[in-house]
Amino acid sequence: VPGLCGPRHVSCGPDWGFVVSEECGDVRLFGHAHQALGSLSSRLEYPFGNPAGICTDPEGNIIVVDEQLKEVTLFPQAGPPVRLVSKGLQRPTGVACASHGRLLVADNGDNCVK
């Protein structure tokens, strides 16, 4: 997929598509045929700092770790974004959905996974 602005992380997305976090401060959405579907910041007027790690949960919601803002935000398929974590992170860079609804966040500032 050409035309990205400093791609950082990629994850499977809703409906067999994928999502890409970019250094320029955005998260781009792509469909199953690799067609561009827009971005989270333009769709929701959401101000990212420096989105890093991304993942999707079993319901197809997108979860983004913002390294600059030091937070984890859930972007549901419908409705406004939900800030999941906004305290206790030093330099979050990765995120993954684990079993039983657990969320794993890699924090380079603390050299650990939370």
Q: Is residue 65 part of a domain?
A: yes
Q: What is the pLDDT of residue 99?
A: 85
Q: What is the pLDDT of residue 31?
A: 94
Q: What is the pLDDT of residue 104?
A: 96
User: What residue ranges in the chain does DSSP mark as E strands?
Assistant: 7-12, 18-22, 26-30, 36-39, 51-56, 62-66, 71-75, 82-85, 92-97, 103-107, 112-113
Q: How many domains does the chain have?
A: 1
Q: What is the pLDDT of residue 71?
A: 97
- Are 63 and 98 in contact, with CB atoms under 8 Å apart? no
Q: Is the pTM of this model over 0.85?
A: yes
Instruction: Report, as an integer, the average pLDDT of 45-61.
Output: 93
How far from each other are the two terminal CA atoms of the chain, in whole angstroms?
32
pLDDT digits (tens, 9 = 90+) for 69-86: 999 999 998 999 999 999
Q: Is residue 1 part of a domain?
A: no
Q: Is residue 73 part of a domain?
A: yes
Question: Domain containing 45: what range?
Answer: 7-113
- Are 63 and 95 in contact, with CB atoms under 8 Å apart? yes
Residues in Cβ contact with 35 at an 8 Å cutoff, skipping those fewer than 6 apart: none
Q: Is residue 2 part of a domain?
A: no
